[in-house]
Amino acid sequence: MLCDMIPCAEMVLFGKHGSDMCTVAVRTARLHTGRKKVLFSGYHGWHDWYAETLQPRLRTSSEPPTLFRFELNDLSSFRALVKEHSGEIAAVILEPAAQAASLDGPVCDADPGFLRQAADICREEGCVLIFDEIVTGFRHPQGSVQQATGVIPDLTCLGKALSAGMPLSALVGRREIMRTSSQAAYMPTFRGEVYSLAAAAAALEIHKRQDVPGKIHEFGHALKNAINLVSRELNVQGEMIGAPFRMIYRFHEPDDLQRSLKRTLLQQELLQRGILTYQGYMLPSTAHGEKEMEQTICAFEGALGKVQEISSEQAFVRYLDIPLL
């Protein structure tokens, strides 16, 4: 089913979460090419190979670095990085769209021109191009960035959107490279857990019959516009930014501390009104309908109003009950 729906897919390996698949993808690329270095752009999980970018103390100082970050859609800096490490690059792994730079955004959209150039450069270098579509798979317009742009990577990481939220992930890709994954020392106990696979089979049938990304886009776009209208009506200096399937509210506040205080208070007030986000990020799904739309808009009206009220008092500390975001 996945090979029919994902352009690059000729073989599939299943896992339980996105970090699994990003790790196996990088291991496979290193084994396939015989090289170690990886260029990356985005967030690719919590496993050791990537965790050193989140916590530098995890990297052994005596070892030369093997991971190098580049900015999405910045072709000149990407070219320069490839030139610097030419002949040593095993893989380029990136979130091709909806990549979140920080809790203040921006949330970068796909740039087909950049992705095409990056793919060409990877082919010239003989390295493996990996799309981390854990966020965009089955949620981006047309179901994936590669489907929408026509840029086909060598490997793709998919997450639990393929199983409607049940714990399942998949690595899909070209047969020649995927065969190497059998050597990647990937042996999780619950890889063959059947309930998530059954959920995926049912969910993928729904994806075949319905335009799930289209429904998510319609809902998210309407919600984004409604929240921004509330902001203007309340005279709040901020806006909802990002893709309709992954967006976040950003305050136009130049002071870092004040921006964090406002961001934290907003999330606290939303929680008290029954709205749960992931550190501010909102990811609509087809489970959300008119009732949820109305509830969310109403919650933002109250929450943003509270932020405005307390901002004028400069009394954030007296009101915050959750850790600073």
pLDDT-derived band at 3 (thresholds 50, 70, 90) equals very high
What percent of the chain is modeled with pLDDT above 70?
100
Give the tokens for residue 66: 């093997």
In DSSP terms, 130 is beta-bridged to 93, 155
Rounded to an integer, what distance in angstroms lies between the CA atom of residue 54 and that of residue 69? Answer: 12
pLDDT number for residue 202: 97
Residue 8 resides in a domain: yes
pLDDT tens for residues 83-132? 999 999 999 999 999 998 888 888 888 899 999 999 999 999 999 999 99
What percent of the chain is modeled with pLDDT above 90?
82
Predicted structure pTM score: 0.92
pLDDT-derived band at 31 (thresholds 50, 70, 90) equals very high
Flag whether pLDDT at 319 surpasses 90.
no
Question: What does the mean pLDDT of the chain come to?
Answer: 93
pLDDT number for residue 283: 94
Is there a single domain that holds both residue 272 and residue 305? Answer: yes
Is there a single domain that holds both residue 101 and residue 194? Answer: yes
What is the dihedral angle through the alpha carbons of 203, 143, 100, 301, rounded to the nearest 10 degrees?
A: -70
In order of 68, 91, 269, 315, the CA distances from 65 in angstroms are 8, 14, 42, 45
Is there a single domain that holds both residue 29 and residue 68? Answer: yes
pLDDT number for residue 315: 77
Is there a single domain that holds both residue 188 and residue 272? Answer: no
pLDDT tens for residues 230-274? 999 999 999 999 999 999 999 999 999 999 999 999 999 999 999
Among residues 155, 175, 209, the one where a domain terminates is: 209
Exposed, middle or buried: residue 215 (CB in 10 Å: 0-12, 13-18, 19+)? middle
pLDDT number for residue 77: 93
Rounded to an integer, what distance in angstroms lies between the CA atom of residue 93 and that of residue 106? Answer: 19
pLDDT number for residue 299: 97
Is there a single domain that holds both residue 194 and residue 279? Answer: no
Rounded to an integer, what distance in angstroms lies between the CA atom of residue 19 and that of residue 132? Answer: 10
pLDDT number for residue 170: 96
Rounded to an integer, what distance in angstroms lies between the CA atom of residue 134 and that of residue 158? Answer: 4
Quote the DSSP letter at residue 232. H
Looking at per-residue confidence, does 313 or 173 come out higher?
173
Is there a single domain that holds both residue 179 and residue 279? Answer: no
* 252 closest CA partner among 275, 284, 217, 228: 228
pLDDT number for residue 217: 95
Is there a single domain that holds both residue 205 and residue 216? Answer: no
Residue 325 resides in a domain: no
Q: Are strands 128-132 and 107-108 parallel, antiparallel or unpaired?
A: unpaired
Mean pLDDT value across residues 9-21? 95
Domain that holds residue 188: 2-209
Rounded to an integer, what distance in angstroms lies between the CA atom of residue 217 and that of residue 54? Answer: 31
Exposed, middle or buried: residue 219 (CB in 10 Å: 0-12, 13-18, 19+)? buried
Looking at per-residue confidence, does 50 or 230 come out higher?
230
Rounded to an integer, what distance in angstroms lies between the CA atom of residue 152 and that of residue 157? Answer: 13
Residue 139 resides in a domain: yes
Q: Are strands 155-158 and 128-132 parallel, antiparallel or unpaired?
A: parallel
pLDDT tens for residues 57-73? 877 777 788 999 999 99
Given a contact cutoff of 8 angstroms between Cβ atoms, the answer to whether 195 and 14 are in contact is no
Rounded to an integer, what distance in angstroms lies between the CA atom of residue 187 and that of residue 80? Answer: 37
Among residues 165, 180, 209, the one where a domain terminates is: 209
In DSSP terms, 238 is beta-bridged to 251
Rounded to an integer, what distance in angstroms lies between the CA atom of residue 116 and that of residue 119? Answer: 5
pLDDT-derived band at 163 (thresholds 50, 70, 90) equals very high
* 1 closest CA partner among 172, 131, 130, 117: 172
Rounded to an integer, what distance in angstroms lies between the CA atom of residue 200 and that of residue 172? Answer: 15
- The CATH number linked to 26 is 3.40.640.10
Name the one residue in this structure whose structure tokens are 């981006």: 140
